């Protein structure tokens, strides 16, 4: 391939970014076809007349002729757009904006919250010397005031959890103790792990490999998400009060993802979408997934957890598999490679001009192809 000019020419043609956005080259058998993709503006899909499942079952029903997915980078502008009916649906509206959206003032707007299983977490980079001890990681978990943050920042639109498995799932381990907000306990745990203020500068430190290392690190999250940033500032302040120097840094989304994959961070705030079916945590927490820019961002390596994750995949007896699932959650909880915080409620907003509006447990939680534009004889466009 390296020496064949034709192969090289074909390869260079195939990787052109515009080919991934040109309707001429995007083919499929689904209900819609790509009509237009304008970078940083919109994606337009038109009904596919050759849809293989049309009319054969309720699941194959497709009503809007056109779907327009609009990119709006600012939350205030997003709210303004739905108030002016420039858009019809907001898949997820951040809690501060969601609760302030008054449907009495704008009665043509509907809103709904429902759990999708998205759990929020802090990834500790276990390559960093101050995060190698699970006792330290558990101490840090006791410095997160989950209930207060949920009420004050998330306006009650979340449920605290300790597990990467959704709490309504059969395999969820209900026996994991609640991690309380307890700064005094955190200080005692850090002290017993050898983290003390040896030099009197107000920052805890510990001798590691013959050198005193301060408990100083940065939280990383994506820029433009003020809710995430505010949450981290609250957590960082709680840590400062017990002698931990924690900073908050933000970066552009693509760079944020690259740094996670490259383990180029101290601690990172993020979330994962849990499955609506039985959970498989192999991709997130098996040691093999820490390599080659996999999804095990914390570089978590545990022979016990690895064996459980492998056995879960090969065990056909459901009762035995449920027990293995719960054992894995217990091991992961005790290791605290991630500080799992809460499950967020999905907050969806839409303009009330549709019938057959339904919600489900598959992200994004609804299928606009099933929504019927009221009074349009099933032939209308949805934005």
Residue 10's SS3 state is helix
Distance between CA 380 and CA 64 in Å, rounded?
A: 5
Q: Omega before 98 cis (within 30°)?
A: no
Residue 116's SS3 state is strand
Calculate the average pLDDT of the chain. 92
Say yes or no: 74 and 149 in one domain: no
Q: Exposure of 209 by Cβ count < 10 A (0-12 exposed, 13-18 middle, 19+ buried)?
A: exposed
Say yes or no: 130 and 67 in one domain: no
pLDDT in tens, 174-229: 999 999 999 999 999 999 999 999 999 999 999 999 999 999 999 999 998 999 99
* In-domain check, residue 225: yes
pLDDT value for 381: 40
CA distance to 27, 93, 97, 366, per residue, from 347 (Å): 32, 6, 10, 12
Around Cβ 153, how many Cβ atoms within 10 Å?
19
Residue 59 pLDDT exceeds 70: no
pLDDT value for 380: 39
End-to-end Cα distance, the chain:
44
Around Cβ 61, how many Cβ atoms within 10 Å?
17
Say yes or no: 265 and 320 in one domain: yes
Residue 58 pLDDT exceeds 70: no
Say yes or no: 84 and 130 in one domain: no
* In-domain check, residue 241: yes
Say yes or no: 133 and 265 in one domain: yes
Question: Among the listed ranges 13-22, 51-60, 194-203, 211-220, which one has the minimum average pLDDT value?
Answer: 51-60
pLDDT value for 55: 61
Say yes or no: 175 and 267 in one domain: yes
Say yes or no: 69 and 158 in one domain: no
Say yes or no: 313 and 338 in one domain: yes
Query: pTM of the entire structure?
Result: 0.87
Give the CB-side neighbour count of residue 207, counting CA atoms within 13 A: 3
Percent of the chain surpassing pLDDT 90:
77
Place of tokens 């819609």: 32
* In-domain check, residue 105: no
Rounded to 5°, the CA angle 49-53-54 comes to: 50
Helices 134-141, 318-335: inter-axial angle, 10-degree rounding: 90
Distance between CA 114 and CA 343 in Å, rounded?
A: 11
pLDDT value for 50: 82
Kindly report the CATH number assigned to the domain that includes residue 42. Answer: 3.40.190.10
Distance between CA 196 and CA 202 in Å, rounded?
A: 9
Q: Beta 66-70 vs 381-382: how paired, if at all?
A: parallel
Mean pLDDT score, 260-281: 93
Residue 89 pLDDT exceeds 50: yes
Domain total for the chain? 2
Say yes or no: 362 and 217 in one domain: no
Kindly report the CATH number assigned to the domain that includes residue 327. Answer: 3.10.105.10
CB of 350 closer than 8 Å to CB of 91: no
The band of 142, judged by pLDDT with boundaries at 50, 70 and 90, is: very high
- Who wins on pLDDT, 44 or 8? 44
CB of 339 closer than 8 Å to CB of 121: yes
Say yes or no: 246 and 173 in one domain: yes
Residue 382 pLDDT exceeds 50: no
Say yes or no: 360 and 316 in one domain: no
| Domain with 241 in it | 116-344
Mean pLDDT score, 278-293: 95
Say yes or no: 272 and 339 in one domain: yes
pLDDT value for 3: 84
* In-domain check, residue 102: no
* In-domain check, residue 107: no
Place of tokens 């409620």: 345
The band of 383, judged by pLDDT with boundaries at 50, 70 and 90, is: very low
CB of 131 closer than 8 Å to CB of 370: no
């Amino acid at each position: 391939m390296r020496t064949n000019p034709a192969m090289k020419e074909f390869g260079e043609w195939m990787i052109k970014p515009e080919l991934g956005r040109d309707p001429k080259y995007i083919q499929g058998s689904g209900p819609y076809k790509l009509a237009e993709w304008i970078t940083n503006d919109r994606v337009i899909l038109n009904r596919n007349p050759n849809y293989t499942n049309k009319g054969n079952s309720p699941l194959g029903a497709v009503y809007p002729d056109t779907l327009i997915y609009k990119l709006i980078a600012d939350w205030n502008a997003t709210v303004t757009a739905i108030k002016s009916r420039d858009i019809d649906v907001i898949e997820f509206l951040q809690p501060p904006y969601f609760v302030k959206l008054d449907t009495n003032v704008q009665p043509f707007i509907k809103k709904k919250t429902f759990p999708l299983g998205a759990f929020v977490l802090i990834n500790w980079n276990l390559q960093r010397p101050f995060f190698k001890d699970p006792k330290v990681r558990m101490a840090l978990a006791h410095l997160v005031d989950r209930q207060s943050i949920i009420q004050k920042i998330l306006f009650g639109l979340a449920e605290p959890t300790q597990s990467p498995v959704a709490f309504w799932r059969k395999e969820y381990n209900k026996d994991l103790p609640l991690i309380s907000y307890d700064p005094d306990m955190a200080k005692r745990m850090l002290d017993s792990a050898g983290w003390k203020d040896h030099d009197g500068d107000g920052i805890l430190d510990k001798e590691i490999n013959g050198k005193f290392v301060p408990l100083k690190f940065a939280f990383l999250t994506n820029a433009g998400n003020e809710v995430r940033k505010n949450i981290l500032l609250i957590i960082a302040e709680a840590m400062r009060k017990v002698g931990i120097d924690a900073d908050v840094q933000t970066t552009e989304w693509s760079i944020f993802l690259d740094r996670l994959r490259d383990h180029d961070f101290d601690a990172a705030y993020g979330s994962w979408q849990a499955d609506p079916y039985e959970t498989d945590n192999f991709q997130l927490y098996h040691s093999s997934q820490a390599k080659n820019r996999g999804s095990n961002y914390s570089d978590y390596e545990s022979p016990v957890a690895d064996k459980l994750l492998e056995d879960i995949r090969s065990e056909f007896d459901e009762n035995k598999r449920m027990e293995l699932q719960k054992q894995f959650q217990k091991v992961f909880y005790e290791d605290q490679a991630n500080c799992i915080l809460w499950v967020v409620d999905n907050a969806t907003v839409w303009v009330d001009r549709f019938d057959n509006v339904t919600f489900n447990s598959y992200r994004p939680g609804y299928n606009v192809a099933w929504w019927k534009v009221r009074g349009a004889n099933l032939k209308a466009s949805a934005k």
